[in-house]
Chain A
Amino acid sequence: MDNRVDWHRAPGPFAAILGPPLAWFLLFFAVPLAVVLAMSFGTNVGVADIAISGTFANHARTLEPVYLGIFLKSFAIAGAATLLCLVLGFPLALVVAFATPRARTLLLVAIMLPFWTNLLIRTYALMTVLRDGGLVNSALETLGVGPLPLLYNNFAVILGLVYIHLPFMVLPIAASLERLDRSLVEASLDLGASHLGTVLRIILPLAAPGIMAGLLLTFIPALGSYLTPDLMGGPDSQMIANVIERQFKRANDWPFGAALAVLLVNLTLFALALQGLLRRLEPSP
């Protein structure tokens, strides 16, 4: 469009608006990331000193089977949690998008309500529900079903991740469904499709951008999650962030921790690139 405001013609205000957030971003994101990257090429000399020696030893170590196994497991757990979020979140988003305006506001508030509580408190709250003498298990016991191991295993980690990340799946899908032209849904019904057929053939494909956004917003933080596997996981539910934390703290091996962190960032970028590639391969917009 010709009449669009071109901010490049007003470099002063442009710089004034862009400057502070850019400085913030450089200082607190780009610089620490560069430090981590540099450190991953370093060696421990003494207890607290690291020499940036340019060695690839740390990176080579990250490819050892033990660590690759943990990476794979992290992908599997985060992937399972993301898929569960999609299965639960899509119907929920459908309900939100097609509710009356009043009900929609109430539902959105209900979905976002957990955000107002600290993550740690939310996790402990979920644990009290799942633990042996907790709500679920005491209810099961009165029904005669013995206490189930709902905590301190991979299942618990996936459940916790779903609980935390569900809103990140629901909100972008609901937003894309709200933009959907309702007459498309009516046209599908008018042409003889069932309600389920309309969801699968019309609504789902047209909500694809929202679903894609939801998948990314859920998968990336789930992949790097630390607190949930730490608190709710069992001895073998370690995710990659827990291993990184251990290198920085207990093992006091910062260069190796940094190398693991760099690998995690690279894998995340790879997943993003793959998603972009898949989207470009699709024939339709």
Chain B
Amino acid sequence: MTTAPSALAPASAVAAPAARPIIEFRHVTKRFGPVVAVDDVSLAIAEGEFFALLGPSGCGKTTLLRMLAGFETPTRGQILIDGEDYTRAPPNRRPVNMVFQSYAVFPHMSVSENIAYGLRMDGVPAAERRARVAEALALVQLEGLGDRRPDQLSGGQRQRVALARALVKRPRVVLLDEPLSALDAKLREDLRFELSRLHDRVGITFVMVTHDQDEALALATRCAVMHKGGLLQVATPADLYEFPSSRLVADFIGSVNLFEGRVRVDESDHALIDLPEAGITAWLDHGTGASETVQIWLAIRPEKMELHKRGTGAPPPVMEGTPEGHNVVAGTITDIAYLGSESVYAVRLATGKMVRVIRPNLTRWDQEDFTWDEPVWLGWHAEAAAVLLQ
């Protein structure tokens, strides 16, 4: 499951301004007694990236972040920051600063005192301290609130104080532990844009831990999906979504319809895959490279499936790029969830398999097109499906 660092070199990454990685995990393992929290992880993060560690709770992402901050020491392996070994350095001697999930704003200090704390610890002279605090307050749009006490601030404002407190020290890396999880939905969206803007503006590498795939996809330039202490896949958000490497990734990032299958024909320009769960043979517009003897899975995102009327003996539609008779299967709508901008349809196939389809409600009357218990044709384009080997 772990990929060698060379394969992760930021050559393919969106943001790769420096050839040398700013952070490198080399075969890092962390055990807590009998529990292996992080299992032989190797990972390189390039300077200037907004990197997300994504995974369900208990996958080891927080432990990885805390080892970077110095709150935990790896059982085995090495952690390099800017080429220097920081594996065993204490937290107060690292060029990284953290934004805590609870924000950890000191309740007995004013906003300005909170932001100045790190500078004071570094022995920055008072005049420069004042200037940098003012600059940091402006950066996070808290001008004029420097004298406030933390208990007079909203959650979003406290989060900005925590950000300013980390950024004011001009660290090489800012660590964010579930930065938006404590905020309500509307505020979360605002701060998401703000975090992005801040990252662009300060040019510091951000490493974020989150269990929220939307947050990771929206913010990160690159994501690592973690599971049971290991890395499943490290890629850009778009690649994670469109080209997941495994069922676990496909299932964790967004929702997905998975069909067990076996390759029947595998040519360079197309492939035929038997899908017993759907009762049809699927057509793919590229070769799979998979052996015909192993089981594979076909993953199709709900929004990449189409619904067509099947009532009164309508013939099966022909899908784009697909010969007649492939990628179309009969089903019946069993449930509809109207979500405003889109609707989610649960469709039961003749085999009993349940499939999810998402249709955008492009016009104001769209959602009335299909109704409960309506017979439908379900189809997908030749390029819509991803083949998963594990």
**Interface of A, helix, strand, loop or mixed by DSSP:** helix
The answer to whether B122 touches A187 (Cβ under 8 A) is: no
Does B337 sit within 8 A of A, measured CB to CB? Answer: no
Q: How far is the CB of B342 from chain A (nearest CB, A)?
A: 38
B interface residues, tally (CB under 8 Å): 24
CB pair B102–A193 under 8 Å, yes or no, is no
Q: Is B165 an interface residue (CB 8 A)?
A: yes
Closest to B96 in A: A190
Residues 69-109 (chain B) with a chain A CB within 8 angstroms: 69-71, 90-92, 96-98, 100-102, 104, 106-108
The answer to whether A284 touches B149 (Cβ under 8 A) is yes
**List of B residues within 8 angstroms of A46 by Cβ:** none
How far apart sit A187 and B107, CA to CA, in the bound complex (Å)? 12
Q: How far is A64 from B116 in the complex, measured between Cα atoms in Å? A: 55
Task: From the candidates B107, B117, B149, B151, name the one contacting A191 in the complex (CB within 8 A).
Answer: B117
Kindly list chain A residues whose C-beta atoms are within 8 Å of the C-beta of B97.
190-191
Question: Do A186 and B90 contact each other (CB < 8 Å), given the known contacts A192-B121, A284-B149?
Answer: no
The verdict on B118 contacting chain A, using a C-beta distance below 8 Å, is yes
Is A193's CB under 8 angstroms from B92's CB? Answer: yes
List of A residues within 8 angstroms of B108 by Cβ: 205-206, 284
Q: Is A212 an interface residue (CB 8 A)?
A: no
Q: Is the CB of A191 within 8 A of B169?
A: yes
Of B90, B96, B104, the contact of A183 (CB 8 Å cutoff): B104
A206 to B107, CA, bound (A): 8
The interface bits of chain B over 184-217 (1 if a CB of A lies within 8 angstroms of the residue's CB, else 0) are 0000000000000000000000000000000000
Answer yes or no: A213 CB below 8 A from chain B CBs.
no
Asked whether B100 lies within 8 Å of A191 as measured between CB atoms, the reply is: no
Cβ of A188: which chain B residues have Cβ within 8 Å of it? 106, 117
Shortest C-beta distance, B170 to chain A (Å), equals 12
With a 10 A CB-CB cut-off, give which of A183, A191, A192 has the most chain B CB atoms.
Answer: A191
Decide: B121 and A193 in contact? CB cutoff 8 A: yes
A189 in complex: contacting residue of B91, B101, B102, B165, CB < 8 Å: B91
In the bound complex, residues from chain B placing their C-beta under 8 Å from that of A202 are 106
Interface residues of A in 136-195 (CB under 8 A from B): 181, 183-184, 186-194
Q: Does A101 belong to the interface (CB within 8 Å)?
A: no
B interface SS class: loop
Query: In the complex, which residue of chain B has the Cβ closest to the Cβ of A283?
Result: B149
Q: How far is the CB of B149 from chain A (nearest CB, A)?
A: 7
Q: Per a CB cutoff under 8 Å, which of A186, A187, A285 touches B151?
A: A285
Whether a CB of chain B sits under 8 angstroms from the CB of A197 is yes
Nearest chain B residue, comparing its CB with the CB of A185: B104
A100 shortest CB reach to chain B, Å? 12
Expressed in whole angstroms, the Cα–Cα distance for A285 and B107 within the complex equals 9
**Nearest residue in B to A191 (C-beta to C-beta)?**
B118
Asked if residues A186 and B91 are in contact (CB atoms below 8 Å), the reply is yes
* Distance of A51 from chain B, by nearest CB (Å): 57
From A181, A194, A201, B104 is in contact (CB under 8 Å) with A181
Cβ B92 vs Cβ A190 within 8 A: yes
A231 nearest CB across to chain B (Å): 43
Q: Which residues of A contact B165 (CB under 8 A)?
A: 187, 191
Complex contacts, A187 vs chain B, CB 8 Å: 98, 100, 104, 106, 165
The minimal Cβ–Cβ distance linking A201 to chain B, given in whole angstroms, is 8
Residue numbers in A under 8 Å from B98 (CB-CB): 186-187, 190
Contact between A192 and B106 (Cβ–Cβ < 8 Å)?
no
Q: State which residues 190-222 of A face B: CB under 8 Å.
A: 190-194, 197, 201-202, 205-206
B100 and A186 form a contact (CB under 8 A): yes
Instruction: Looking at the assembled complex, report how far the CB atom of A138 sits from the nearest CB atom of chain B, in whole angstroms.
Output: 45
Complex Cα gap A41–B91 (Å):
66
Asked whether A183 lies within 8 Å of B118 as measured between CB atoms, the reply is no
1/0 per residue, CB under 8 A from A, across B40-77: the answer is 00000000000000000000000000000111000000
Q: Are B92's CB and A194's CB within 8 A?
A: yes
**Chain A hits for B106, CB < 8 A:** 184, 187-188, 202
With contact pairs A192-B92, A193-B92, A284-B108 given, residues A183 and B121 touching in the complex (Cβ less than 8 Å): no
Q: For the complex, what is the distance from the CA of A186 to the CA of B91, rounded to whole Å?
A: 8
Q: Collect the chain A residues with CB atoms within 8 Å of residue B100's CB.
A: 183, 186-187
With a cutoff of 8 Å between Cβ atoms, the chain B residues found around residue A190 in the complex are: 69-70, 91-92, 96-98
A186 to B101, CA, bound (A): 12
B94, chain A: closest CB distance, angstroms: 8
- How far, in whole Å, are A192 and B97 apart by their CA atoms in the complex? 9
Q: How far, in Å, is A183 (CB) from chain B's closest CB?
A: 4
- Select one of B96, B104, B117, B118 contacting A186, CB under 8 A: B104
Determine the distance from Cα of A205 to Cα of B117 in the docked complex, in whole angstroms: 15
Closest A residue, CB atoms, query B116: A191
Question: Smallest distance from the beta carbon of A195 to chain B beta carbons, Å?
Answer: 8
Complex formed: what's the CA distance from A284 to B108 in Å? 7
* B94 to A, closest residue via Cβ: A190
CB distance from B158 to the nearest CB of A (A): 12
Known A-B contacts A186-B71, A206-B107, A284-B149; A192 and B169 likewise in contact (beta carbons under 8 Å): yes
Chain A contacts of B71 at CB under 8 A? 186, 189
Q: Point out the residues of chain A lying under 8 angstroms from B122, CB to CB.
A: 192
| Pairs across A and B, CB under 8 Å, 16 listed | A183-B100, A183-B101, A183-B104, A186-B98, A186-B100, A189-B70, A189-B90, A189-B91, A190-B98, A191-B92, A193-B117, A197-B121, A206-B107, A206-B108, A284-B108, A285-B151
Using CB atoms and an 8 Å cutoff, list the residues of chain B in contact with chain A: 69-71, 90-92, 96-98, 100-102, 104, 106-108, 117-118, 121-122, 149, 151, 165, 169
What are the nearest 7 A-B pairs in CB distance? A191-B118, A192-B121, A187-B104, A183-B104, A189-B91, A183-B100, A193-B121
Q: A186-B104, A189-B90 are in contact. List 10 more A-B contacts (CB 8 A).
A: A181-B102, A183-B104, A186-B71, A189-B91, A191-B92, A191-B97, A191-B165, A193-B92, A193-B121, A205-B108
A residues with a Cβ closer than 8 A to B are 181, 183-184, 186-194, 197, 201-202, 205-206, 284-285
